[in-house]
Homo-oligomer: A and B are copies of this chain.
Amino acid sequence: MVYTIRVATLEDCKDIYRMIMELAKHEKVSDQVKIAQRDLEQDGFSKNPFFQSIIAEVPEQHRSKDGHSKVGYALYFFAYSSWKGRSVYMEDLYVMPEYRGKGIGKALMSKIAQLGLAAGCNQLNFAVLNWNKESMDFYLSQGCWDVTTGLDYHCMRCEGPALEALARGDPKN
């Protein structure tokens, strides 16, 4: 199937938001999505954006059953490792179910690798849910390795009241 991978524009936010919700449903966590389309517009398309994004698009004649021509996206940002230097972090990679198995996911990921290498990055990092065996197998087949298992890394998070208490410097939470 013919498809195009291109840098996303402000006008793509409606479709990116739609696909973020589809991905969250697939991961069974749609109640966790707290952002709106407007946040994507502000955070990704103003000065000093917090993320970058790319879109996979098919021609008119290959529109989805629901009439969509934007059928996949990836969201990424530049990051840093104090050991290895510049890196790129892939936050999301998604292809609509009816367009899977055609190489679109790999083409999106390949584009991020290209953009990362062009910017001098040495690593592409991302996270995958352990139960998502299909995705894990795909990533492993591409030569990616599991940092959590390999180095016994634990991802930690501070948010909500704990983050506010930390910012205030409270003696104890």
Binding site for B on A (CB under 8 A): 20, 23-24, 29, 32-35, 39, 43-44, 50-51, 75, 77-86, 89, 91-92, 106-107, 109-110, 113-114, 116-117, 122-131, 136, 139, 141-149, 151-159, 161-169, 172-173
User: How many copies of this chain sit in the oligomeric assembly?
Assistant: 2
Query: What's the dominant secondary structure at chain A's contact region?
Result: mixed
B86 touches A82 (CB 8 A): no
A113 touches B143 (CB 8 A): no
30 A-B pairs (CB sep. < 8 Å):
A20-B82, A29-B83, A32-B84, A34-B83, A35-B82, A50-B80, A50-B85, A77-B78, A79-B89, A81-B91, A84-B159, A107-B169, A109-B166, A110-B169, A113-B163, A117-B164, A117-B167, A122-B159, A124-B158, A125-B155, A126-B156, A127-B153, A128-B153, A130-B152, A142-B158, A144-B156, A144-B158, A147-B156, A148-B155, A155-B155
